[in-house]
Amino acid sequence: MSALQIHQFPARTDNYGVLIHDEASNLTASIDAPDDSAVLSALQEKNWTLTHILTTHHHADHTAGNLRLKEITNCTIIGPGGEADKIPGIDSKVAQGSTIEFGSFRIEVLDTPGHTAGHISYVIPKASVAFVGDTLFAMGCGRLFEGTPKLMWSSLCKLRELPEETKIYCGHEYTLANARFAITIEPQNEQLKQRLECVEAMRNQGQPTLPTTLREELATNPFLRAGEQTVKDRLGMQNEADWKVFAEIRSRKDNA
């Protein structure tokens, strides 16, 4: 069995596009379509033909390329049933528990609402990879445009249950700003301090900081660490529910 090939590339201002390709079946999917030109260039560079778009959520910076890419390639657009009316060109609606056969790989769908009401994530267990759109970022998480803190916390808890070695691909390069905020929540977290330095160096050289791994996020992402006693103590929220601590951290980031 050949490995799943994954190609990440920058698009728009700070988005990432990602192509996944299964050599054996010659299938290629674009995770979201931030910009049709950027996706087409990436396809050309790899000499792959687009067969699918896997949409995570309806925001324009994730769907702007849908219609033109469909027109040019006749690809199938798969997206969240919960917000299907907002996904241009959608052919197939999926939700929690849906599976998509992609050559020899099975793609599993998780509902991860909060950033938008119908946001979904795609997980490929055999390739140890998850595409989480704007739900989880390196040391950050998405803004709560259409969901409550409690809902987003439950989505993050779902992602937290994936195997630690899972590679996480996110929709945006927000890592440096996230790291600088994270250190205000956990100034004593040694691994976080080291990661901030590492991310500063990578960004100075124009390198992408993604994908990340769940293991790294569990150790350094304050939004995933809202249930840790050290974090609760630091915020003076020793006896509060985890989701309330998460809500406090999210609100601090929104006002940072």
* Catalytic site positions: 57, 59, 61-62, 115, 134, 172
Residue 123 φ/ψ, nearest 5 degrees: -120, 135
Q: Which of 134, 173, 217, 242 binds Zn ion (CB under 5 A)?
A: 134
Q: Does 232 contact Zn ion by CB under 5 A?
A: no
| Residues written for the chain | 256
User: Could you tell me which of 91, 75, 78, 98 has the C-alpha nearest to residue 27?
Assistant: 75
At residue 107, what are phi and psi to the nearest 5 degrees? -100, 125
Q: What are phi and psi of 96, to 5 degrees?
A: -40, 125
Q: Which stretch binds Zn ion (CB under 5 A): 14-22, 54-62, 78-86, 153-161?
A: 54-62
Q: Which of 52, 59, 195, 232 binds Zn ion (CB under 5 A)?
A: 59
Distance between CA atoms of residues 45 and 130, nearest Å: 23
Q: Which stretch binds Zn ion (CB under 5 A): 100-108, 129-137, 151-159, 236-244?
A: 129-137
Residue 151 burial (CB count, 10 A):
17
Taking the least distance from each CB to Zn ion, the nearer of 146 and 200 is 146
User: Per the structure block, which two tokens stand in for 202?
Assistant: 């990578």
For 148: left if phi > 0, alpha if psi spans -120 to 50, otherwise beta; the answer is: beta
Q: Which of these segments, 7-15, 131-139, 207-215, 225-233, binds Zn ion (CB under 5 A)?
A: 131-139
**C-beta of 28: minimal distance to Zn ion in Å?**
23
Count of residues in contact with Zn ion, rule CB under 5 A = 2
- Write down the least CB distance from residue 57 to Zn ion, Å: 6
Does position 242 interact with Zn ion (CB under 5 A)? The reply is: no
Shortest Å, Cβ 13 to Zn ion: 13
Identity of the residue numbered 212: T
Inter-residue contact 4 to 123 (CB < 8 Å): no
CB of 152 to Zn ion, least distance (A): 13
Q: 6 forms bridges with which residues in the sheet? A: 20
What binding mask, one character per residue, do residues 83-122 give for Zn ion by CB under 5 A, x or -?
----------------------------------------
Q: Is 122 helix (H, G, I), strand (E, B) or coil?
A: strand
By CB under 5 A, which span of 2-10, 91-99, 127-135, 227-235 interacts with Zn ion?
127-135
- Nearest-CB residue for Zn ion: 59
**173 lies in the binding site for Zn ion (CB under 5 A):** no
Give the number of other CB atoms < 10 A from CB of residue 161. 8
**Binding residues vs Zn ion (CB under 5 A):** 59, 134
